[in-house]
Chain A
Amino acid sequence: MPQTSIGQMNMMRDTHETFTGNKALQIEEALIFETGRVEVTGVDVDEPVTEETRLGGLERHAPIGLPGLSEPETMRHYLRLSQKNYSIDTGLFSLGSCTMKHNPRLNERMARLPGIGDIHPLQPVQSVQGALELMDTLAHWLMTLTGMAGVALSPKAGAHGELCGMMAIKAAIAAKGEQASRTVVLVPDSAHGTNPATAALIGFSVKPVPARADGTVDPEEVRKLAGPEMAAIMLTNPNTCGLFEKDVVEIADILHEAGAYFYCDGANFNAIVGKARPGDLGVDAMHINLHKTFSTPHGGGGPGSGPVVLSERLAPFAPLPFVKRGKQGYALIEHAGNAGDAKPFGRITAFHGQMGMYVRALSYMLSHGADGLRQASEDAVLNANYVRAGLADLISLPFGNRPCMHEVLFDDTWLKDTGLTTLDFAKALIDEGYHPMTVYFPLVVHGAMLVEPTESESKASLDLFIATLRDLAISIRAGERERFTGAPYHAPRRRLDETRAARSPVLRWQPPEPIKVAAE
């Protein structure tokens, strides 16, 4: 068979354009406003008997233009949309810093048990003792795994957890009467963007800490910045370069001597569960992404959940509500007046947090056991290192070819003089059927590609992924630019014009022109 280039293949496909625009099972799905019609309705309901409204003249009189669709039209529309999705259930999802690991079906089964799935947050406390016990048990294991004295379960996701932890720190500073002077939060260059945003949101000023040549934070830099105005540091460990901050204990000691607190961004806790306890490293507050480390769904699949563990110094400031075990069973403390010696800084959620995620996280913990959780961390680290070792001869590593934690960071030094970018490489990966890795983050290296395979992948799956990346890299070395500059070729949409989308976005849907019936 003669060799065909991608360009020729593309031309061939263009000659096979279909009448519908569909490509076999790849349906060119219209918007629901284009499928449905305003003048029809898919349901048959009686016109309501006109009664006096209680809207005080605010009721609408003009039609609002919602499309009417039949049930089969509705089903097809949403099913087809769902089939355009890439998910962890579709394939390997190497998005670094996101921990796209398998969501065990057992967790889903547990969350749907009627005693859990059918309860309501406003039910009398005596009728949901089991749910409160579950929250208390989850809290116990989160504190045990992290070596911390307290936990606030209610934050709804990682950044919300950061906010909760930093508000606890702010409350502790205020309790010492230092709120006017302790106003500076240190944030390393490699931090998640949410860290400085969180600190700034609650009125701290942010000072960056530069990374040293090996990608980690230098305790001497922290020492230089430490002082009576320092409130806290927000440090991710392992950091976003996939490296363990080896001087973390020394950094914690410097902070504590200066009267400041250590906030640890726990987004990467999945690398160290069962191996190290943040409490032993001097951490004062750390959020735990249940939707990463403890396998609950995230992205489109389900709400996040970001409990925050707190050191003895901060535990009294944990927000309301919290579960307390008493003689009469479990109680939910909803008001500061009932909090005893605790000094809750307030409340950050209307109800009690993501109950469904608590169930799934506890199901994951109990089904894995201590040894299983440790092995999950070890396998996550092993898999990332397997990817590193499989690619190190072709794709550049900014901090040298040395062991990483649960994710491996590449940069674009290897693309120098090819005229191609990290983005081109990532787009070509879409054609190969993979969701690309995280690109251009962290910002501390040029043209970053951050790969987190997670422990969910088998050796065969990793081998195919590595072989695919190698094939792409070799293709670049061979000068096959077209495979990249025009990618993706096979996705429902080709390369999007991100610049135009940002410069002149079309934010309002316009009805299409009516179809003209051609006179034959």
Chain B
Amino acid sequence: MTTRYTKDHEYIRVEGDTGTVGITDYAQAQLGDVVFVDLPEVGKAIEKGKEAAVVESVKAASEIYAPVSGEVIAINEKLPDAPTFVNEDPAGAGWFLKLRIKDASELDALMSEADYKAYLETIS
């Protein structure tokens, strides 16, 4: 199991050909209190870099982009009623959706945890 990161602060936790997508702790801190999450329908095919979900905080509404292409096989059904999970536990209970990864080689372009940490150093 490995986790990869995008420059837009999404993570994808990879288990076999399945990836769990959410936003990083840094992203939730920047957004502030999340008040609404709009998730795609299960079965939808989404493309790398395209909008996968929308997250709305007291400060702003932001798009969540798909880290890699794939088919949505599950969404976090609890999130619409409990958007606080995104702030409290972004890497755990605050996950957004699970993807069946279409092309595992797309993961190579994403950052490792160490790379992402280094990236955060450059922007904060």
Contacts and interface: CB of A to CB of B under 8 A. Distances in A.
B7 interface: no
17 contacts: A440-B59, A440-B60, A443-B60, A498-B33, A498-B58, A499-B33, A499-B35, A499-B58, A502-B33, A502-B35, A502-B36, A502-B56, A502-B58, A503-B35, A503-B36, A503-B83, A503-B84
Interface string A488-501: 00000000001100
A498 B57 CA distance: 10
A195 to B, nearest CB: 16
**Which 6 A/B pairs are nearest by Cβ-Cβ distance?**
A502-B35, A499-B33, A498-B58, A503-B35, A499-B58, A440-B59
A57 to B, nearest CB: 41
Query: Which of under 10, 10 to 19, 20 to 34, or 35 or more describes the interface residues of B?
Result: under 10
B61 to A, nearest CB: 10
Interface of A: 440, 443, 498-499, 502-503
Interface string B59-85: 110000000000000000000000110
B60 to A, nearest CB: 7
Nearest to B82: A503
Nearest to B32: A499
Interface in B23-68: 33, 35-36, 56, 58-60
| A interface SS class | helix
Interface of B: 33, 35-36, 56, 58-60, 83-84
A189 to B, nearest CB: 13
Contacts of A499: 33, 35, 58
A503 B84 CA distance: 9
A503 B58 CA distance: 9
Nearest to B36: A502
B15 to A, nearest CB: 31
B38 to A, nearest CB: 14
A502 B36 CA distance: 8
A25 to B, nearest CB: 32
Nearest to B35: A502
A227 B59 CA distance: 35
Contacts of A502: 33, 35-36, 56, 58
Contacts of B35: 499, 502-503
Contacts of B83: 503
Contacts of B33: 498-499, 502
Nearest to B59: A440
Contacts of A498: 33, 58
Contacts of A443: 60
Contacts of B84: 503
A499 B59 CA distance: 10
Contacts of B59: 440
Contacts of B60: 440, 443
Nearest to A504: B35
A499 B34 CA distance: 8
Contacts of B36: 502-503
A208 to B, nearest CB: 12
Nearest to A416: B124
A414 to B, nearest CB: 16
Contacts of B56: 502
B75 to A, nearest CB: 19
A443 B84 CA distance: 23
A432 B77 CA distance: 45
B83 to A, nearest CB: 7
Nearest to B87: A499
A499 B36 CA distance: 10
Contacts of A503: 35-36, 83-84
Which residue, of A440, A443, A502, has the highest number of chain B Cβ atoms within 10 A? A502
A502 B60 CA distance: 12
B82 to A, nearest CB: 9
B31 to A, nearest CB: 12
A443 B35 CA distance: 19
